[in-house]
Amino acid sequence: MVGRILGGLIALVLIAFIALFALWGALDKSTEELLPQYASEASQFVTLPSGATVHFRDEGKSDGPVLLLVHGSNASLHTWEPWVEILSDDYRVITLDLPGHGLTGTHESDDYTRAGQVAFVKELVTHLGLEDFVMGGNSMGGGVTLQYAVTHGDDLKGIIPVSSSGMPRNVGNASPPLAFRLAATPVVNQLMLVITPRSIVEDGLKHSIEDDSLVTEAMIDRYFNMTLHDGNRGATRTRFQGYAERGVADATLAEQVPTIDLPALIIWGENDPLIPVESAHKMKEALPQAKLVIYENVGHIAMEEVPGESAAEVRAFMAKVNLKPQAAPAPPAVLCGGSPAVDGAPVPEPHNCGE
């Protein structure tokens, strides 16, 4: 009798799972599937000494001062495209996909901590031979920027945290989107490895961005497809499991932030629901030399919500920072119709074919 009941429960669970998968199931997408749509002619892939392959773009004025930009959680380098378009006339703008994000994909070490992300960025910086550059980051990427400034401050001439993590905050005032809450929930986050509704991505974007009209179908598709990139959902689960210790990490970083002796531009949205604007004021207190810019009617992603205004602030900031031009390395040779390799990283055919 007990066995029959148990068997019936298992059958019900299987039926429920099949029904959920039929409604909202989504299989991972390979790099080859995503490259034609999301890799541009500027996209490069490099295998770093750690063995990780990084997707990055090196755009703009090749001999101009360097601006390195790091995206936020569950985003990709595409979030910086508005700034790249506006600032590339005078600056060399480098963007990258962090491990477990975008077209970079997973890291074999499964290290998605802030320290691991800083080490990953440092590897790329060393590979490109960068020095005396400005580094900016949004949300999680802002925390990476602050930690990089603490650990490798000699590399930098300035920092631009945008709705940045890294400062202790009253979580009761924050309102993370449903996707973030589910990713941090045991069992449910296991299901999210195969069941990821596109609607949950749309909800997250509309939650983060103040003006819903800015959340286009193309933007939702981009965030959704980057989430489905092979292994990214598993990396997100691993990363969110580590967030249980984030308070300790943020407290440690917050103690170190006042030691950052660099020009800083802090950008925030007044209506940021993920990292409330009170964190901006705390960061300003820790960095008294910083300029703080807060935009009304803007949420968590200022570079996509008010690209013109925020890029203008970045341009003014860059002009005041004493930067020296740095020559960009020669672009990789890629022949269409083949499968070339860039520094040991195989690049599928559609890459850089100009089609």
In angstroms, the CA 298 to CA 209 distance is 7
Whether 93 is covered by a domain: the verdict is yes
Whether 271 is covered by a domain: the verdict is yes
**CATH number for the domain that contains residue 301:** 3.40.50.1820
Whether 3 is covered by a domain: the verdict is no
Q: Which domain holds residue 285?
A: 36-346
Whether 128 is covered by a domain: the verdict is yes
Of 189 and 92, more confident: 92
Please report, as a single letter, which amino acid is at residue 354: G
DSSP 311-352: HHHHHHHHHHS-----PPPPPPP--TTS--EETTEE--TTTT
The residue among 38, 177, 189 whose CA lies nearest residue 102 is 38
Whether 5 is covered by a domain: the verdict is no
Whether 322 is covered by a domain: the verdict is yes
The answer to whether residue 182 scores a pLDDT higher than 80 is: no
Reading the block at residue 208, the tokens are 């983060």
If one counts the domains in the chain, the total is 1
Of 254 and 89, more confident: 89
pLDDT score recorded for residue 32 = 93
In angstroms, the CA 201 to CA 286 distance is 34
pTM over 0.95: no
Whether 167 is covered by a domain: the verdict is yes
Whether 191 is covered by a domain: the verdict is yes
pLDDT score recorded for residue 294 = 98
